[in-house]
């Protein structure tokens, strides 16, 4: 593998990783503070993509980039305040069912408004050109734009958590929300805000990715599982874990997808031969790139065997 | 300042407190005694709004029974739980920061004053709360709640599991708090300490107050001690 290819893979892996972080950071904070595993989290990602499309159509992409995540965030905060908070007293199962229902309601709503087929959400013209071209490969300007935005968002989250009183309240609430409230902080309001902010981040990820991966009603279902893998691998409630797991999964998946090695080549290398007509050849001839989609799940299993609470988690899964 | 009438508390279907009446006056140390499991912690948690309750809890003449936890706290009530709920992932300094709040209490505490009492905390200001010793954690929780300048502080078994030296420190701190005019509602297992510190005591049994009096009253009334306090 040439150096250029490796650089491209790293950039793409980082981009995918930061994208996963934008989705999983909100989810993991919400879980850590409220104990709710929000099944509908990826649905907010989908709403973000659709609103990004709609606002881009009617006004322009830049307005969409700012207002679509805000709208999604407000929607999330409202759902927390008027929905989840009232259900809280019936326990975690009720909350889980609520977010489950929310997932389906959002999917149906999206189909009612925008139809069942993908909408033509396009990369903004001004960013639609190859930024770097080396030995026949090109890195799109829009990808670089997404990477920069997600890095900025990461820095912002880091600063808020590390340097502000709000950050202190959030971190303390991860271990003991009742005690934080007993010190006079309005924890329910912090919950709503974190929930809303987490949804806004998912919405932003949707605005930024919807025009690349395609904006369609099943996008939440497609993305949901991988976000859970990130959050559980990193450790439920750990923002650091979410970051590390996102980057690892982003890099590994991008790396494997570009590899055409299979087990046969390893076996050949070791001096053995597999009969092409044997049953086992069906497995040994699978290439790494074909296996790429399940790599995150394999990682999840390995991590959970070695560390049942995830990489940085303090709570049981 | 705190006036509790006919307080009932429930965990799910179990009816834990059954009509508790209790008063704490301004600047007073009042102890809540009783064997384990009689509901002393539950009284404190009920006042703090952490348990499902009914009845009446007046603080400074105003009903607080159905308020959310943070509003009860902001009326000027502090809670130091029996679990020493420091935030283990935050530093000593950050733990203290979280205790601060804006209120117009006329009893002020500043960090230096508390550090004078516990030089240890000052030395360990940037250490994570989770690595402090049990005694240091206890000091930190009490100091943290003082940062909010409360009018009433409720402390649940502060000397439990501490070395005699630390028990001594806690005692001194409680006396200092009371001298500044803060009321204290104290749950204390060690009778000698409770008798020494408090003017009035309540004895609880099975979710009810079974006796109320001064330390002198109780010491003269051995049957109360035998029936409700001594561990046989
Ligand atoms: N979270 C809870 N859920 C159910 N029952 C509880 C809970 N906490 C305490 N109890 C019960 O309530 C009773 C009183 O407990 P508590 O107030 O902690 O007693 P004390 O502090 O006097 O030792 C006990 O019988 C205890 O088993
Ligand atoms: Mg207790």
Distance from CA of A59 to the nearest CA of B (A): 43
What's the pLDDT score for residue A260? 74
With beta carbons under 8 A apart, name residues in chain B contacting A178: 50, 69
Q: Calculate mean pLDDT across residues A204-209.
A: 96
What's the pLDDT score for residue A32? 85
Is the predicted pLDDT of residue A317 greater than 70, yes or no? no
CB contact under 8 A, B68 and A168: no
Average pLDDT, chain A: 90
Binning pLDDT at 50, 70 and 90, where does residue A315 land? low
How confident is the model over A11-21, as pLDDT tens digits? 899 999 999 99
For residues A30 and A25, what is the distance between their CA atoms, to the nearest angstrom? 9
Give ligand 1 pocket residues (Cβ under 6 A): B 11, 14, 16, 34, 36-42
Residue nearest to atom 17 of ligand 1 (CA): B39
What's the pLDDT score for residue A65? 96
Q: Between the ranges A269-273, B19-23, B35-39, B166-170, where is the mean pLDDT highest?
A: B19-23
Distance from CA of A96 to the nearest CA of B (A): 21
CA angle A154, A128, A60 (to 5 degrees): 75
Q: Is residue A315 a part of any domain in this protein?
A: no
Return the number of other C-beta atoms located less than 10 Å from residue A27's C-beta: 27
Q: Calculate mean pLDDT across residues B144-172.
A: 91
How confident is the model over A238-261, as pLDDT tens digits? 888 999 999 999 999 888 887 777
Q: How many residues does chain B have?
A: 232
Q: Is residue A314 a part of any domain in this protein?
A: no
How confident is the model over B189-227, as pLDDT tens digits? 888 889 999 999 999 999 999 999 998 988 888 888 887
Nearest ligand by distance to the CA of B35: 1
Distance from CA of A42 to the nearest CA of B (A): 29
In chain B, the domains with their CATH numbers are 2-229 (3.40.50.300)
A37-51, A189-203, A240-254, A291-305: which has the minimum mean pLDDT? Answer: A291-305
Residue A33 sits in a domain of what CATH number?
A: 1.10.3470
Q: Is residue A108 a part of any domain in this protein?
A: yes
Is the predicted pLDDT of residue A174 greater than 90, yes or no? no
How confident is the model over A144-172, as pLDDT tens digits? 999 999 999 999 999 998 889 999 999 99
CB contact under 8 A, A169 and B98: yes
Q: How many angstroms does the Cα of residue B56 sit away from the middle of ligand 2?
A: 22
What's the pLDDT score for residue A1? 65
DSSP letters spanning A32-92: HHH----TTHHHHHHHHHHHHHHHHHHS-HHHHHHHHHHHHHHHHHHIIIIIIHHHGGG-H
Q: What does the block give as tokens for A135? A: 């030995």
The count of structural domains within chain A is 1
With beta carbons under 8 A apart, name residues in chain B contacting A176: 85, 87
DSSP letters spanning B169-229: HHHHHHHHHHHTT-EEEEE-S-HHHHHHH-SEEEEEETTEEEEEE-HHHHHH-HHHIIIII
Q: Calculate mean pLDDT across residues A191-197.
A: 94
What's the pLDDT score for residue B232? 58
Residue nearest to atom 25 of ligand 1 (CA): B37
Tally DSSP H helices, then E strands, for chain A. Answer: 15, 2
Cα end-to-end span (Å), chain B: 36
How confident is the model over B14-23, as pLDDT tens digits? 999 999 999 9
Q: Is residue A311 a part of any domain in this protein?
A: no
Q: How much of chain B exceeds pLDDT 90, in percent?
A: 62
With beta carbons under 8 A apart, name residues in chain B contacting A181: 68-70, 73
Going from the C-alpha of A110 to that of each of A43, A55, A95, A106, B37, the distances in angstroms are 10, 15, 22, 6, 54
Binning pLDDT at 50, 70 and 90, where does residue B137 land? very high
Q: Is residue A197 a part of any domain in this protein?
A: yes
A157-161, A189-193, A277-281, B82-86: which has the minimum mean pLDDT? Answer: A277-281
How confident is the model over A110-126, as pLDDT tens digits? 999 999 999 999 999 99
Q: How many angstroms does the Cα of residue A85 sit away from the middle of ligand 2?
A: 29
Binning pLDDT at 50, 70 and 90, where does residue B6 land? very high
Q: What does the block give as tokens for B143? A: 């100091």
What's the pLDDT score for residue B99? 93
CB A72 within 8 Å of CB A51: yes
Binning pLDDT at 50, 70 and 90, where does residue A299 land? confident
Is the predicted pLDDT of residue A316 greater than 60, yes or no? no
CB B183 within 8 Å of CB B153: yes
pLDDT top residue among B3 and A285: B3
What range does the domain containing A176 cover? 3-306
Positive or negative: CA dihedral A218, A209, A310, B91: negative
The minimal CB distance from A180 to the residues B50, B74, B98 is found for: B98
Binning pLDDT at 50, 70 and 90, where does residue A186 land? very high
Residue nearest to atom 24 of ligand 1 (CA): B37
CA angle A204, A208, A209 (to 5 degrees): 115
Distance from CA of A33 to the nearest CA of B (A): 13
How confident is the model over A71-99, as pLDDT tens digits? 999 999 999 999 998 998 888 889 999 99
How confident is the model over B74-121, as pLDDT tens digits? 999 999 999 888 999 899 999 999 999 877 677 788 788 888 878 888
CB B97 within 8 Å of CB A168: yes
With beta carbons under 8 A apart, name residues in chain B contacting A188: 68
Residues with CB under 5 A from ligand 2 (ion): B 41
**Ligand 1 atom nearest to B36, measured from its CA:** 23
**Ligand 1 atom nearest to B207, measured from its CA:** 14
Q: Is residue A288 a part of any domain in this protein?
A: yes
Q: Is residue A254 a part of any domain in this protein?
A: yes
């Amino acid at each position: 593998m040439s150096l250029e290819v490796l650089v491209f893979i790293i950039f793409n892996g980082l981009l995918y990783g930061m994208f996963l972080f934008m989705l999983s950071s909100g989810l993991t904070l919400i879980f850590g503070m409220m104990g709710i595993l929000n099944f509908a989290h990826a649905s907010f990602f989908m709403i973000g993509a659709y609103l990004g499309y709609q606002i881009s159509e009617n006004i322009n992409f830049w307005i969409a980039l700012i207002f679509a995540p805000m709208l999604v965030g407000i929607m999330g905060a409202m759902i927390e305040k008027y929905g989840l908070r009232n259900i809280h007293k019936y326990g975690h199962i009720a909350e889980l069912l609520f977010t489950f229902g929310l997932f389906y309601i959002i999917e149906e709503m999206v189909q009612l408004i925008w139809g069942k087929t993908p909408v033509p959400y396009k990369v903004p013209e001004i960013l639609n050109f190859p930024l770097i071209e080396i030995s026949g490969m090109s890195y799109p300007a829009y990808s670089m734009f997404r990477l920069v935005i997600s890095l900025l968002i990461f820095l912002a989250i880091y600063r808020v958590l590390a340097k502000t009183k709000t950050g202190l309240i959030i971190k303390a609430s991860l271990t003991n929300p009742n005690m934080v409230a007993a010190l006079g902080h309005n924890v329910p309001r912090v919950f709503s805000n974190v929930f809303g902010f987490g949804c806004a981040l998912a919405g932003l990820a949707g605005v930024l990715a919807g025009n690349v991966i395609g904006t369609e009603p099943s996008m939440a279902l497609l993305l949901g599982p991988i976000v859970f893998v990130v959050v559980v691998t990193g450790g439920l409630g750990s923002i650091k874990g979410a970051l590390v797991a996102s980057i690892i999964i982003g890099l590994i998946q991008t790396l494997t997808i570009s590899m055409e090695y299979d087990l046969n080549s390893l076996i050949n290398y070791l001096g053995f031969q597999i009969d092409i007509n044997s049953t086992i050849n069906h497995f040994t001839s699978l290439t790494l790139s074909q296996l790429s989609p399940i790599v995150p799940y394999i990682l999840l299993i390995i991590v959970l065997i070695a560390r049942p609470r995830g990489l940085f988690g303090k709570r049981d899964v | 300042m705190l006036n509790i009438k006919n307080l009932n508390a429930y965990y799910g279907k179990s009816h834990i407190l059954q009509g508790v009446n209790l008063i704490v006056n301004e600047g007073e140390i009042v102890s809540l005694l009783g064997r384990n499991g009689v509901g002393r912690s539950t009284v404190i948690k009920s006042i703090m709004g952490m348990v499902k309750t009914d009845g009446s809890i007046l603080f400074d003449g105003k009903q607080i029974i159905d308020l959310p936890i943070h509003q009860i706290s902001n009326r000027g009530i502090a809670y130091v739980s029996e679990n020493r709920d420091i935030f283990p992932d935050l530093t000593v300094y950050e733990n203290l920061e979280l205790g601060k709040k804006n209120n117009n209490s006329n009893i002020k505490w500043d960090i230096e004053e508390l550090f004078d009492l516990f030089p240890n905390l000052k030395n360990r200001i940037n250490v994570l709360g989770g690595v402090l010793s049990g005694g240091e954690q206890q000091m930190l929780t009490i100091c943290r709640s003082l940062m909010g300048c409360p009018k009433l502080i409720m402390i649940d078994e502060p000397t439990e599991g501490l070395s005699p030296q630390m028990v001594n420190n806690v005692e001194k701190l409680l006396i200092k708090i009371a001298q500044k005019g803060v009321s204290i509602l104290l749950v204390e297992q060690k009778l000698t300490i409770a008798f020494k510190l408090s003017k009035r005591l309540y004895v609880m049994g099975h979710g009810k107050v079974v006796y109320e009096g001064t330390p002198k009253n109780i010491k003269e009334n051995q049957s109360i001690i035998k029936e409700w306090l001594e561990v046989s």
